[in-house]
Amino acid sequence: MFAVLKTGGKEYRVAKGDVIRVEKLEGNVGDQVTLEDVLMVSVEGQVHLGAPKLNNAVIVGEIVRELKGKKVLTYKMKRRKNYRRMKGHRQTYTYLKVNEISLG
């Protein structure tokens, strides 16, 4: 059994017991999270597709940890104008363990 879910603008293929890295979700380590944007569920070879998402399908997971990713630097410059700007960004990620996939 596996499912395809959407969170943080990205889609993930998950099965029960998987640990995935998604963009930051609200909650603390150890909290249960319910994700309702399920696009597809496959049960024993039988595929259930949503248009665009399945009604009553939910994925229940547990927040394992939260980390920051590597720093991404952006640089802007205009030649001969003495204009230079450098910015950095570190995205926060949540590691989520999938505990249950249900069709409802």
Residue range of the domain that includes 17: 2-102
pLDDT digit string, tens, across residues 4-22: 999 999 999 999 999 999 9
Pair 20, 62: CB distance under 8 Å: no
What total of structural domains would you count in the chain?
1
The pTM score is 0.84
If phi over 0 gives left and psi between -120 and 50 gives alpha, with beta otherwise, what is residue 36? Answer: alpha
Tokens representing 84?
């230079």
Residue 103, classified by CB atoms within 10 Å of its CB into exposed (0-12), middle (13-18) or buried (19+), is: middle
- Provide the pLDDT confidence category of residue 104 given band limits of 50, 70 and 90: confident
Report pLDDT digits (tens) over 55-87.
999 999 999 999 999 999 999 999 999 999 999
